[in-house]
Amino acid sequence: MRIMGLDYGSKTVGVAICDPLGLTAQGIEIIRRKSEGKLRQTLARIEELIAEYQVESIVLGFPKNMNNTIGDRAEKSLEFKEMLEKRTGLAVFMWDERLTTVEANRTMIEADIRRENRYKYVDELAAVFILQGYLDSLQHEKQ
């Protein structure tokens, strides 16, 4: 069962896919667009990846505020969720992504990736953390 993880941002979408057993998440790519509202090509690329990896469901990062309220970014993520469900026909699960970008940056610092190069990977790595958190929760539920 393949699951896709997405880190939806204003101009990028980080993409991760789990292994066929649903145990580990791997970063695939970052989809970039010129402006926030230009989603047609982004959605088309996500559909291509869904077909290529035979994805059965999607986990989308839900950027809640630190006080657990829903702000502007979270509202936009919910709108993106609806678009994904309508366009792909797959179930889309929201996953709390608070601090995933911080964790991604910390991981890259520990890996000694230069500051000017981190932006190239941060969204993809955040998608990995989102998906891995979801996969770990599924494993925990089975125990």
Taking only the tens place, the pLDDT of each residue in 101-123 is: 667 667 767 776 677 766 667 78
For the entire predicted model, the pTM comes to 0.86
Residue 98 pLDDT > 90 = no
Q: Give the sheet arrangement for strand 12-18, strand by strand.
A: 25-32, 12-18, 2-8, 55-62, 91-96
Confidence of residue 34 (pLDDT cuts 50, 70, 90): confident
- Strand-pairing partners, residue 6, are 15, 60
Which of these, 10, 73, 61, 70, lies nearest to 39 by C-alpha position?
10
Task: Please report the domains of the chain, with CATH numbers, ordered by start residue.
Answer: 2-142 (3.30.420.140)
